[in-house]
Structure 1
Amino acid sequence: MDHSLRQRVRQGDPAAFGELFDREAQAVYRHALRLSGNPQVAEEVVSVTFLEAWQGRHRLRPEGDSLLPWLLGIATNVHRNVARAARRHREALARLPPRQVVTDFADETVDRMGDAEKLHAVRAALARLRRADREVFTLCVWAGLSHAAAAEALGVPEGTVRSRLSRARTRLTKLTDEELKKTRAKPERPLPGGQHLVSRLQTARSTQETIR
């Protein structure tokens, strides 16, 4: 029972904490991955989340059912800190001279370009939401928490979660459409020597058909 596990975690039982990790680590990872879009960052968030959970176990409320909202609340805070550090790192890199990179496309990539375009648009739109709205959206929609559980995770009233979620859904739909339009309106990028991405893809496909 989660209630028994909660008590054992609060009392500092290592076996109980190991059980909690085995049960919820994947859910915390998925939440962190949705927030960051980066598997390495998500892994870091999971590690720090469980470390902070162990160190702060005495602050865990004695009553309640699932421990997942508590963990996701910690993970959300950890991600904020990790994101701030990553932003400072990106800003430092941006001050360095740019380096030209030419992407090498394969058939597998071409087949998935449509889905990748939509995923990129959703992630870009999500990043444009207010942080509070974005966190509520990821907890309720992607992590599947109830309004009450998300409120517990974020330490805000349930009514606040409902209003933020409604606002996030409306804004996200509009912003995703905007991002898709921006992506599709971008001019084709030339490759060195005047060759274009599309012609390169067509040439690769023609070569493969000739080999067949």
Structure 2
Amino acid sequence: MSGPLNPGGDAGIIAGSLERPDLFAELYHRYAPDIHRYAARRLGDGAADDITADTFLSAFRTRSRYDLGRENARPWLYGIAANLIGKQRRAEVRALRALARTGNDPVAESWVDRADSRVTAQAAHTSLAGALASLSAGDRHVLLLVAWADLGYQEVADALSIPVGTVRSRLNRARRKVRGALGDLDPTLVHDIVPEAASHG
């Protein structure tokens, strides 16, 4: 640790919650809406409630192992959520493939429409869904943590416990696949869904 903990900071709250568990609720109030929004985009609103609850339950149970040198707990929480979502990978891929095939799926309303309000072409929706479904779980985690959770490369590395170089290579591979699938349908979608390295480098 580089200095005394800020009692109102994330690390300070986690440290304090070891003696006073009720303090941990502050992290829930800070980050639960973001985690829920991210889970809803990945799996739909129905599953998002459970993912959010399980994320914070797991975080609470493992808080004694949190690295207090990391002031911001967001990457840690997104990493837990990504692991939980990964356990439902078959459901996510099935929903994405259904959307790619038919253009209609319950998940579409919770993630595609919110991804970018300017995207209206159904072809772009179905192509994006197909591209996301074709990604490996690891590539999809990296891509969506950058695009939808707005995490930087180091934060994604922290969240997934992988080297920054792996984050970069996975993101580049995922970006190529998404761009290839979308072609020239909607360049703004590629920009908004898959940010350039310059914005997170």
TM-score (norm 2): 0.68
List structure 1 segments (4+ residues) > 6 angstroms apart after TM superposition: none
Q: Deviations over 1:9-58 (max 9, x none)?
A: 4x15333211100000011112212222x111122111111111111112
CA distance in 1, matches of 2:153, 2:45: 27
The structure whose residues are more often helix, as a share, is 1
Tell me the matched-pair count. 155
Taking the aligned partners of 2:11 and 2:55, their CA distance within structure 1 comes to 21
Select 2:69's aligned residue among 63, 66, 83: 63
Q: Which amino acid is 2:132 matched to?
A: L
- Structure 2 unaligned regions, length at least 5: 1-8, 96-117, 187-201
| 1:146-174 deviations in Å (ceiling 9; x for gaps) | 11110000000111111111111111111
User: Which of residues 47, 50, 55 is equivalent to 2:56?
Assistant: 50
| Long gaps (5+) in structure 1 | 91-111, 181-212
Counterpart residue number, 1:41: 47
* Equivalent in the alignment of 2:157: 151
1:78 to 77, 84, 94: 84
Percent of aligned positions that are identical: 34
For the residues of structure 2 that align with 1:23 and 1:82, how far apart are their CA atoms?
25
- CA distance in structure 2 between the aligned counterparts of 1:150 and 1:57, rounded to whole angstroms: 19
Deviation at 1:61, TM superposition (A): 1.3
Confirm or deny: 8 A CA contact 2:157 2:163 kept in the other structure. yes
Determine helix, strand or coil for the equivalent of 1:62: coil
Cα distance change, pair 12–146 in 1 and its aligned pair in 2 (3 A) = farther
- Determine whether 1:128 maps to 2:134: yes
Answer yes or no: is 1:163 the counterpart of 2:165: no
Which of 129, 134, 140 pairs up with 2:146? Answer: 140
CA distance in 2, matches of 1:17, 1:56: 12
Change over 3 Å in CA distance of 1:175–1:13 after alignment to 2:
farther
Summarize the Cα distance change of 1:113–1:167 in structure 2 as closer, same or farther, 3 Å threshold.
closer
Whether the 8 Å contact between 1:45 and 1:82 is mirrored in structure 2 is no
Larger radius of gyration between Structure 1 and Structure 2: 1
Root mean square deviation of aligned Cα: 2.6
Find the aligned partners of 1:178 and 1:13 in 2 and give their Cα distance: 55
1:112-127 paired onto structure 2 within 5 Å:
114-127=120-133
TM-superposed CA distance for 1:113, in Å, is 10
Deviates more, 1:142-151 or 1:50-59: 50-59
TM-score (norm 1): 0.65
Alignment match, 1:8: 16
Q: Does the aligned pair in 2 maintain the 1:140–1:146 contact within 8 Å?
A: yes
Quick check: 2:52–2:81 contact (8 Å CA) kept in 1?
yes
